[in-house]
Structure 1
Amino acid sequence: MSMYTREASTNCLACSEDGRYLGLGHALGLSVWSASSLLCAAEWKQDALEVTSIQMTAMDQSAYMLGAVDDMGLSSTN
């Protein structure tokens, strides 16, 4: 986990249903942040991967599904 570093361009934002995590889609991919501590929990960065839409859904108490759309189509991870 890392402390908050602002991306150059944030295109979209999603909050988990329980309010624990924030998902940010930006010009280099996406990142997931703890809403209470502002620590980065996970990130996926790749050149030329501009995420334009993001959605988070709780799968159970400790797993979340994250769906993202970039300029080339749809991707999901959990």
Structure 2
Amino acid sequence: MGKLSRASWESLKYYGFAGAVLLQHRPGGASDYRTVKTVTTDGSGLLRTKVTVSSAGTWRWYFPGTTTTARAASAGDFVALK
């Protein structure tokens, strides 16, 4: 489970943000991520999804941004297969 949030400069707090977030995968040895799935957060910014992993590599969430909110990417997590 993850959460997309953005800062409110009036209250100086973070709040959940509804929007589309891309689940991306970069296979071992590759230099670019490719989008595997697009997930829409709920009104609280929460997101959850399932995918079948068929190759080792690094996974991350990527938010492409909006006209009022900058793009952002999570740190990548490497997943190895046995």
Larger Rg: 2
Tell me the TM-score normalized by structure 1. Answer: 0.30
Kindly indicate whether structure 1 or structure 2 has the higher relative contact order, using CA contacts under 8 Å at least 6 residues apart.
2
The structure where strand makes up a greater share of residues is 1
Tell me the TM-score normalized by structure 2. Answer: 0.30
